[in-house]
Amino acid sequence: MSKEQAPLWEVFVRARRGLSHTHVGSLHAPDAELALRNARDLYTRRQEGVSIWVVPAAAITASSPDEKDAFFDPAADKVYRHPTFYEVPDGVAHL
């Protein structure tokens, strides 16, 4: 019996044309090709997707939830990035 656990892969599925790939879950597989085949059998048994990505979980770098404030704060003080920041004068169309 192999002592080493096959690596973990994260699975992303594009449900339909025009949508982005969305994370659906994970699985174990020894290599990318088998990960893809297993993902097809596990996550798209009911035509849930038209395209699958598999990514080695070890290759993902994630932000940590406890860094939230420091990490995402720079976005909070840039309200001018949202269109709602701007006041549109009455009577202007197509803006």
Q: Is 80 helix (H, G, I), strand (E, B) or coil?
A: helix
Of 62 and 93, the one with the shorter C-beta distance to another protein is 62
Return the range that interacts with another protein (CB under 8 A); candidates 14-22, 25-33, 77-85, 86-94: 25-33
Give Cβ neighbours of residue 21 (< 8 Å, ≥ 6 apart): 12, 13, 14, 51, 53
Q: Is 37 in the site for another protein (CB under 8 A)?
A: no
> Whats the size of the chain, residue-wise?
95
| One of 18, 59, 69, 84 touching another protein (CB under 8 A) | 69
**Measured from the CB of residue 20, what is the shortest distance to another protein in angstroms?**
16
- Output the CA torsion sign for 54, 57, 60, 66: positive
User: Which of the ranges 1-9, 13-21, 77-85, 86-94 carries the binding residues for another protein, by CB under 8 A?
Assistant: 1-9
